[in-house]
Structure 1
Amino acid sequence: MYVTCSKDYFESYFSIASAVPSVPCLILNFFLVNRVSSKVRILSSLVVMLLIFILTTVLVKIDTSAWTKEFFVLTLSCVVILSGASNILSASVFGVTGQFPMKHSQALISGQAMGGTISAVAAILDLAVASDVTDSALAYFLTAVVFTLICIIVYLILPSMEYSRYYLSISNEKSSSSSVEGAATGDSRPTLEANSPPIVPILRKVGVLATCLFYNFFISIIIFPTISASIESVNRESGNVWTTIYFTPITCFLIYNFSDFCGRQVTAWVQSPGPNSKILPTLVFLRTLFIPLFMFCNYQPRKHIATVIFQSDVYPVFFLSLFGLSNGYLGTLSMIYGPKVVPKELAEGTAIIMSFFLGLGLAVGSAFSSLAQLI
């Protein structure tokens, strides 16, 4: 019973395990932003992630057939810890990046999507050439260990770069001047240096953008990967390798991640609609229509919706391309606008608030994604 349940809800379990921990971790990160330096938050997150990847690499070579249930729980626990650490990491890094020109925030977000694209390509190549699943898993996790170590080294080098010192010093000077002005005027309110960023003033500035970010990723996580990975080729019965082996890795993961990357990259050249436009929230809300579009593809298993309207593999490819492009473009616009519509000294706190709403959208959406299994 346990095995069957785990198999049926596998994607939902991992979506929930990866998304739900982001909310408390992002809240924690917000309250730590002016109490614990970004350097400590970033390095501690990277170290935690490194340790988890090392543990997972070791487990690859251990026979877990005698304790399948315990191993599944351990795997989910590792996903939870990794998710928490990576969310603190990404929010902290985005907070620091918010102190730089907008192009750097855009590059950071595009880089995240590029990572997904590279992973999808690696998975497809693995299907084509690998002969042993254990060796493939070992290669994946060793790669994660190596790249995490590289991230730690590169981040330690960052403060020594003159370019980064310039922009970080500007932000520090503005924060310090705000504290001095408060003391000079006899303002007894807690200073920004000693406390968390002021939530209400920030939300007044970025409330609509934060809502757009929340809803954009709420819709995205409902569909990807729970629904999109369950769409099968309409010609699956033919038995060829495209319909049985490569259809899901290519149509679901590669096409979505590449389209998402393209959508994020476009924002480097085109930034429209603007942060105060009503068109942006309208476009974000219209992404809701993707849910019925995907459900009427060859989504399996079908329980209550018997009709497959889109009787061609072209449809899920087209829908996923548009879905990924819209997620990357609209999500990136909402994210990068946030820290730029507030005073410079509030940029890091605003970036973390925006990251919170992104994580909240993923968490709530992952909970709703399990309902797709009942349709």
Structure 2
Amino acid sequence: MEYQEICVPLKDKFFTTYVLFYALGTVTLVPFNFFTTATDMYKFRDPESNLSYSTENRTGLQAEFTADYTIVSNVSNAVFIILTILWIRRLTILVRTIMALCGTIAIFVCTCIFVKLDTDSWQTGFMVVTLLTGFFLTGFCGIFLVTLFEMAPKFPPSYLAVIFSGQAICGILSALAQIVSLSVDADPAVNGLVYFLSGLSFVVLTLVGFSWSLRTSHFFKHHFWKEIAAEKFEVSKEKILTILHKVKFYLLAMTITCGSTIMVQPSVTSLVLSVDKNNGNNWNDVYFAPVITFLVYCTSDYFGREFAMLLKKHSQGLVLLSAACVRVVFVPLLMLCNAQPRDHLPVVFDEDYAYIIFIIIIASTNGFLMNLCIIRVSHIPTDDEKPLAMFFIMIFIIVSSMICAFVGNGLVQAL
């Protein structure tokens, strides 16, 4: 189906497509955020131990799950993005979008079923199944991410930045869902079911919103069906080197920013407890981790991204690269907070406010630097170079995340 160009530009009535792009960006991180935020849903407890589950007596599986899932998630992302670029990309954007969203929904349904199963007799097997589930769930989102990067250039430039802000919103929604499920004070299985059903519901609503926009929104249909150079761009060595020369500082800044964040969030930060835990206060015992480690982090990340979108002055790539290098200092600072269990490093920052300050700074600078770099990369190249520049953004982020996820697992062992 083709739509002819018209002289008067179409308007996004009621900003429905803008909101849809927020939702589409959110879906790309649903598997990662909903699985890693659920630190108390997957307890992987020792059935032979008389000790009840607590954050102080985590087993090896309990302590390493978040770091292991981060590795699996990033490896899956890289594998499926490469497969999509090489083969799956032959399918149309519409087919890939529906396939990825339906696949995500199907695996979320399986996850909800596992929440109700008794897994005490096969804890290691259950962890393997959980990681495999996460592998394929992230794989569908990897396919969707490539598809979304192909779809975004069809729309005005502001819609690309909205996708990344939507990713931050995903973390906020998953953290709120966990807090609500914990506040119910029900059986852990019930909490887990409510939690994952909320994630499932959001993906279903996004699929419905996408289908509705495709049928009824003239603005969305006009841009979605528009043919652009991104669908048939040619690659040459000279073109690659030219683009890399233009955006090298921004790509390096993104790589360092994303990598240093992945090293500690959530592999290390998910283990951090309130120093006043077990004093009978629900804030310290129940809500500290989900509120600070996830909700405050994701909210700070979101506002950092939004501030980058509002910033009118263009920042030099070398300045952003320097800022990205400086914020690496927060990796050891967070490791010296009250992350448990630990056998090697001392707890230096034994006040909750220090950890909260570190979380706010590392999150807000992550969102700010990432979105600012993405916005600059989308403006510097010429129109025919933009598709390849977007491809470089995706590859640099994925490779950095995958490598630093392994580093994050090592940092957990070093605690």
Q: Please tell me whether the aligned partners of residues 45 and 123 of structure 2 are also in contact (alpha carbons under 8 angstroms).
A: no
CA 1:280 to 1:51, structure 2 compared with 1: closer, same or farther past 3 Å? same
Cα pair 1:41 1:92 within 8 Å, conserved: yes
More deviation, 344-353/52-61: 344-353
Amino acid at match of 1:263: G
Alpha-carbon separation, structure 2, partners of 1:20 and 1:174? 30
- 1:84 maps to which residue? 139
Please list every run of 5 or more consecutive structure 1 residues that lacks an aligned counterpart in the other structure. Answer: 177-190
Decide which of 249, 264, 270 is 1:229's aligned counterpart: 270
In structure 1, what is the Cα distance between the partners aligned to 2:90 and 2:241?
Answer: 19
Aligned partner of 2:319 in structure 1 is 279
Which of 332, 336, 339 aligns to 2:375? It is: 336
Paired residue for 1:357? 396
Q: Which residue in 2 is equivalent to 1:135?
A: 190
3-state DSSP class of the match of 2:266? helix
8 Å CA contact 1:25–1:88 kept in 2: the answer is yes
**Offset at residue 367 of structure 1 (A):** 0.3
Contact 1:256 1:321 in 2 (8 A): yes
Taking a change above 3 Å as real, the CA distance of residues 272 and 21 of structure 1, as seen in their structure-2 partners, is: farther
TM-score by length of 1: 0.85
Q: Which one of 173, 178, 192 corresponds to residue 118 of structure 1?
A: 173
Equivalent in 75, 84, 92 of residue 37 of structure 1: 92
Task: Name the CA distance, whole Å, in 2 between partners of 1:205 and 1:25.
Answer: 28
| TM-score scaled by length of structure 2 | 0.78
Q: Which runs of 5+ in 2 are unaligned?
A: 1-43, 47-58
Partner of 1:5: 60
User: Map of 1:194-233 to 2, 5 A cutoff?
Assistant: 199-233=240-274
Q: Does 2:351 match 1:312?
A: yes
Does the 8 Å CA contact 2:250/2:317 hold for their aligned counterparts?
no
Distance in 1, matches of 2:339 and 2:228, equals 55
- 2: CA distance between counterparts of 1:350 and 1:29? 17
- For residue 267 of structure 1, give the secondary structure of its aligned residue in structure 2: helix
| TM-fit CA distance, 1:6 | 1.3
What is the RMSD of the two structures over their aligned residues, measured on CA atoms?
A: 2.9
In structure 2, the residue matched to 1:184 is none
Q: 1:134 to 1:299 in 2, by over 3 A?
A: closer
Separation (CA, whole Å) in 2 of partners of 1:113 and 1:328: 8
8 Å CA contact 1:60–1:138 kept in 2: the answer is yes
Which of the pair has the greater relative contact order for Cα pairs under 8 Å at 6+ separation? 1
Q: Give the deviation of 1:229 after TM superposition.
A: 2.0
Residues in 2 aligned to 1:49 and 1:333: alpha-carbon distance in whole angstroms: 30
Q: Is contact 1:34–1:193 with CA below 8 Å preserved after alignment? A: no
Length, aligned pairs only: 358
- Paired residue for 2:219? 163
User: In structure 2, the residue corresponding to 1:343 is in which secondary structure?
Assistant: coil
Q: Which deviates further from its counterpart, 158-167 or 319-328?
A: 158-167
| 1:37 partner amino acid | T
Alpha-carbon distance in structure 2 between the residues aligned to 1:194 and 1:58: 46
Tell whether the 8 Å contact from 1:95 to 1:347 is kept in structure 2 after alignment.
Answer: no
Is the contact between residue 27 and residue 356 of structure 1 (CA under 8 Å) also seen in structure 2?
A: no
Quick check: 2:154–2:228 contact (8 Å CA) kept in 1? Answer: no
Deviations 1:288-329 (A, max 9, x none): 0101221232233333322x3333211111110111100111
2:309 matched to 1:253? Answer: no
- Letter of the structure 1 residue corresponding to residue 110 of structure 2: L
Counterpart CA distance in 2 for 1:88 and 1:210 is 22
2:154 is paired with a residue whose SS is: coil
Q: What letter matches 2:401 in structure 1? A: L
